[in-house]
Structure 1
Amino acid sequence: MFLFKKGLMVIIGSIFLSLGINLFLAPNRILDGGFIGLSLILNYLFNLKIGLMIVILSLPMFIVAWFKEKKYFYNSLHGLFISSFFIDYLRPLRYLLHLDILYSSIIGGIFVGLGTGLMLRFDISTCGTDLLALFLSKRFGINVGMIILLIDSFVISLGGLLISGGTFLFSIFTIAAGGITISLVNRHAAHA
C-alpha cells in the first residue's frame, strides 16, 4: 500500500509541478530555482525542452548519488524522470491561460511548491539540486537550506542578467510562494 501511495504522489506531484511551469512560469519567462530554473533559462534562450534539460543537468548528481547516497538515488530517480516527462508532455498547455505576470508568478510558485512538497513527503526529489546542496553541506558544514537559497539566488540572478530584470523580480515571488507552500505541505504531513 505504501508503494502505491508513493507512486501516486509522484504522479500527482509531477502533474502539479508541470502545470505550474507550463501554465504560469514558462509563458511569462519566470524562473524557479535550481536545475529547474537553469532548464527554464535554457528553454527561454535556446528553446530546449525543459524536462529533458532537467534530466541532463541532474544526471551528474545522480551518478554521484549512485556511489555515495544510494537511498537518495533510488528514492528520486523516478521523481526525476516522471516529472520531467510531464513537464515536456504538458507543454501545449502554455497557451491555455493568460494571467497577469504577478499572479502567474505566485500561482506558479504555489503549484510548483505543492508538487515538490507532495513528493518530498515521501523523500522523493525531482532534480539533483537537493543532492548538490546535501554534498556541499557535508563538505563545508553549511546548512542545506542556506545552500539551496544561494543556488536559487544565483539561478534567478543569472536569469535576470540573461533574460530581463522582470524575470528576476517575478522569480523572487515564485521562489517565495513555492518555499512557503513546500513548508506548509510538509508541516501538515508532520502533524498528520
Structure 2
Amino acid sequence: MLKKIVILGFGSTMIGIGVNGFILPFHLINGGFFGISLLANYLWGLKVGLTFIFLNIPVYIYAFKYEPDYFVNGLAGALVSGFMLDFLIPLNGRIHLPILSSIIIGAVVIGFGVGFMLRNHISPGGMDLLALLMAKKTKVNVGVICLAIDAVIITTGLLLLKDARLLYSLGIVSIIGLFACVITTVRKVEK
C-alpha cells in the first residue's frame, strides 16, 4: 500500500510539474482529459485540476460497474493528479526556456510520470480507461484509439483558439506516448 502511495504521489507530481512548468506557459495542450482541461482553462479560465477530475467522473462510474479493480487505482490516480495540477500552478511562468526545449522537457517529465504510474497499474486519468473500454467493444487497437482521441482534441484546440503554436502539441503527445510506452515495456530487473 505504501509503495502505491509513493508511486501515485511521484507520478502525479511529475505530471503537475510537466504541465505547469513547461506546457501552460506556452498555452499548449496535451492529449486526453489533460488536454481538454487545458482547453477549458484557456477558453473559460476553469481550474485545470478540478476540470480534469470532473471529466473523469463518467468514465469512472462506468469502470466501477465493469472494471472494479481498475476503478480504485484509476480514481486515486485521477484525484491525486488533478490535485497536483492545481497545487503546482505556481510553477507556471517560473521556468524560462525556448518553446522547443520546453516541449521536449515537459513531455518527457509528463511521460515519465504517466509511464511510472501505468507500469505499476495506476491510471493517471480516465482517457486511457476510456480508450481501453472502446477497444474492447470495437476491437480497434487501444493505442490507435488514444492517438485518434488526442488528434481530435488538438485539432479542436486549433480551431477554437486559432493559434498555430498548438501544432507543437502533436509533438507533446508523441513524446509522452513514446516515453510512457518505453517505461511500461522495459522489463523489471529481477532480484
Q: TM-score, normalised by structure 2?
A: 0.95
3-state SS of 1:95 partner: coil
The equivalent position to 2:65 in structure 1, one of 64, 67, 73, is 67
- Whether the 8 Å CA contact 1:21–1:87 is kept in 2: the answer is yes
> CA-atom RMSD, angstroms?
1.1
* Aligned partner of residue 125 in structure 1, secondary structure: coil
CA distance in 1, matches of 2:156, 2:100: 20
Aligned-partner Cα distance in 2 for 1:79–1:191: 22
Gapped regions of structure 2 (runs ≥ 5): none
Within 1, Cα distance between the matches of 2:139 and 2:121? 22
1:130 maps to what in 2? Answer: 128
Deviation of the 1:191 alpha carbon? 4.0
Partner of 1:35: 33
Q: Could you tell me how far apart the structure 2 residues matched to 1:92 and 1:178 are?
A: 23
Amino acid at match of 2:70: Y
Q: Describe how 1:103-114 pairs up with structure 2 within 5 A.
A: 103-114=101-112
Residue of structure 1 equivalent to 2:7: 9
Q: Does 1:160 align with 2:158?
A: yes
2:99 aligned residue = 101
Q: For 1:98-144, what per-residue CA distance to the aligned partner results, in whole angstroms no more than 9, with x for missing partners?
A: 21111111111111101101100111112111111112111111111
- Cα distance in structure 2, aligned partners of 1:7 and 1:59: 21
Deviation of the 1:166 alpha carbon: 2.8
TM-score when scaled to structure 1?
Answer: 0.94
Q: For the residues of structure 2 that align with 1:50 and 1:167, how far apart are their CA atoms?
A: 20
Distance 1:36 1:162 in 2: 17
Q: For structure 1, which segment, 171-180 or 157-166, has the greater mean C-alpha deviation from structure 2 after superposition?
A: 157-166
Q: Is the 8 A contact 1:31 1:167 kept in 2?
A: no
Q: String of CA shifts for 1:135-162, please: whole Å, max 9, x gaps.
A: 2111111111110010001011111111
Counterpart position of 2:140: 142
CA displacement, residues 23-72 of structure 1 (integer Å, 9 cap, x when unaligned): 00011011110111000000111111101011111100000011111011
Partner of 1:116: 114
**1:177 alignment counterpart:** 175
Amino acid of the structure 1 residue aligned with 2:128? D
User: In the aligned structure 2, how far is the partner of 1:175 from the partner of 1:162?
Assistant: 19
1:55 paired residue number: 53
* Equivalent position amino acid for 1:139 in 2: K
Answer with 87-96 or 164-173: which moved more.
Answer: 164-173
